[in-house]
Amino acid sequence: MIYKEIKLTDISLIDGIFGGYSFRGKVENELDGSVFVIQMKDLSNDYSKIENTMLQIGEGKIRSKFHLQRKDILFIAKGSNNFAMVYDLDLKTAVASSAFFVIRINRSIANPYFVAWYINQRKVQQYLTENMAGTYIPNINIDTVKNMKISMPSMEEQNRIAELNKLLLKEQYLINAAKEKRKKLLETILCNQLK
């Protein structure tokens, strides 16, 4: 079956693709801060989820236009791993750093989980590689993101693909967690043999 390819801008809200917040220096954790800051270091090794390592800053430091909404897509714009994931944490207020583009999808025509999955597929990743800028630290510019082509199946099929991908990610997480536990168990057994 052939699906219509459309630009990402055609399924995003008006002004729905924008850069993360550019901090002027290192982000310092504030104990009484209420705004969570998502940085590259907060992502899991496979770039599929946000870990619970985020720093917090004060409420009035960042304009509300940078505040994330649930189901926004975070796209890694800097470096050579340009993957996407859906922001789906239950936090009062969070912002993404400038390492990301935020993509706010029109959910009446597209499933954000499907779009993030599609961005992570070989065809789009090849397009991103071909359109990278920068020599020391590769990066993707906003026009490249806006012109990204997405093959759009029906909403029913988008939902099905998104759900299957969620199950796959969960399975991978459980397999990796089991491997890590088995490794620690074997290390403990071997160390006990030396006593």
pLDDT 10s digits, 121-148: 999 999 999 999 887 888 999 999 999 9
- The count of residues in the chain is 195
Whether 30 is in a domain gets the answer yes
pLDDT of residue 71: 96
| The one-letter amino acid at 91 | L
Q: How far apart are CA 109 and CA 158, in angstroms?
A: 10
- Total number of domains in the chain: 1
pLDDT surpasses 70 at 1: no
Whether 171 is in a domain gets the answer no
* DSSP line for 45-94: TTSSSB-S--EEE-GGGS-GGGB--TTPEEEE-BSS---EEE-----SEE
Whether 190 is in a domain gets the answer no
Identify the CATH number of the domain in which residue 80 sits. Answer: 3.90.220.20
Q: How far apart are CA 34 and CA 92, in angstroms?
A: 8
Q: Domain range holding 99? A: 4-152
pTM of the model: 0.87
Q: Tens digits of per-residue pLDDT, 49-67?
A: 888 889 988 877 788 899 9
pLDDT surpasses 80 at 195: no
| The one-letter amino acid at 125 | Q
Say if CB 148 and CB 124 are below 8 A apart: yes
Whether 178 is in a domain gets the answer no
